[in-house]
Amino acid sequence: MQNFSYFHESFNLRKLSSYFLNIELSKYGVCYVISDSIRNQHIAIKYLEFEDAGADIIENFQNVVKDDVYLNKHYKNVNFFLENNKYTLVPANLFEKKNKNEYLKYNHIIEKNEEVHFSYIEKIEAYDIYAYPSILINFLVNHFPEIRFFHSTTTFLNTYIRENENSKDVFETVAINFNKNTLDILVLKNQKLLFLNDFDFNTEEDAAYYIMNVLKKLNLNIAKISVTVQGKILISYKIYQYLVKFLPQIKFKSKFKKEFPFNKVSPHLFANVLSEL
């Protein structure tokens, strides 16, 4: 994906302190969006892919911040999303803050340089638990005193739970979030979470297998269910061409609370950072 930067004509440098900033970081790159809540509009978006995805993610991000004038300003609100597969969900009635590390250890290894955080997802009465590198936390807090930390699954879950809230559809809602070599599959019905998991894949055929296998195991009617895809997927990708043959209701994520005025950018590519918590 090509690097890009777009600013709306209404963007005003003198009003930065009234704007909202969302940042999403992965090992492959960083995307940020600046929003004007008064106009209810996203007014800037920038994406930068790291030249060396194998290098230290924190060093890569620090270099971006150092060179970017708009990441060296103060905003009314800053939300930061870390994109990786180190997360787990725990029902609220089983959650105790003192045990947060133990919950995450069931599925992941917590490194010595990481600290565990969590976000409460009210609609499904569950906690999203995830790990952040301590160095990244310290850097961000010092750089953005007003910052809040989340995992990318937090906004992914909240977005579709909210959209499913008033749904009267008798069939399940499926959302799939694509990263470069991982995908998250979410299945909801009547505001209830039926399934959420992530999968690593090496080929697009592997990705298609995981998706179709999950739908089969859950006994979903693939001719009727609504399937929304977002993230790093385009209509030209083999995985999309395969899925569209078997999932007639498939569509790209296109609806967002705030207006997205940049026609040169497909918003589904950056759905998590464009969505509301």
* Domain map (residue ranges) of the chain: 4-85+129-158+257-274, 163-252
**In 189-270, alpha helices (H):** 204-217, 238-246
* Exposed/middle/buried for residue 54 (C-beta within 10 Å: 0-12, 13-18, 19+): exposed
In whole angstroms, what is the distance from residue 30 CA to residue 253 CA? 20
CATH 3.30.420.260 fits 163-252, yes or no: yes
CA–chain centroid gap for 64, Å, is 20
User: In sequence order, what are the residues at sequence separation of 6 or more whose Cβ sits closer than 8 angstroms to the Cβ of residue 93?
Assistant: 125
Strand partners, 115: 132
- pLDDT tens digits, one per residue of 185-218: 999 987 789 999 999 999 999 999 999 999 999 9
CATH 3.30.420.250 fits 4-85+129-158+257-274, yes or no: yes
- pLDDT tens digits, one per residue of 43-82: 999 999 998 888 889 999 999 999 999 999 999 999 999 9
CA dihedral 8, 14, 19, 21 (to 10 degrees): 80
pLDDT at 116 over 90: yes
The label of the residue with tokens 């709306």 reads 8
CATH topology agreement for domains 4-85+129-158+257-274 and 163-252: yes
